[in-house]
Amino acid sequence: MNVIDILRKIGYDIISISDGVYTVRNTTEKIQDMVKEAEADEANDFDIYDTYKLVVNEVKFNGFGNLSVSFKRLEHPDEVWDAFEYRNMDKEYR
């Protein structure tokens, strides 16, 4: 599993990659989920149809031994934008 796989798994289409910057947009499925959340009064304060420039913020193993990867947007470098936790790695590699 690599960064591209992770971004796809958490709902992004990759548009381009350059020097560790991933230009992405939400997949159709993720947009549909976000629209449902917005209808349930969980509105987003960003354009869900926009493209984003993401970089890997942190890669670590959490307290349970699971791989955790977080991403930040170039436009907002002090905020974690999205994250992924890879659970049950041991089951996959037995």
User: How far separated are the first and last CA of the chain, in Å rounded?
Assistant: 16
Contact 13, 25 (CB under 8 A): yes
Domain that holds residue 21: 3-92
The model's pLDDT over 6-24, given as tens digits with 9 standing for 90+, comes to 999 999 999 999 999 999 9
Query: Number of folded domains in the chain?
Result: 1
Q: Which two tokens stand for residue 22?
A: 């991933």
φ/ψ (deg, to 5) at 4 = -60, -45
Q: Percent of the chain at pLDDT above 70? A: 86
Please state the pTM of the whole predicted model: 0.80
Give 14's strand partners.
24
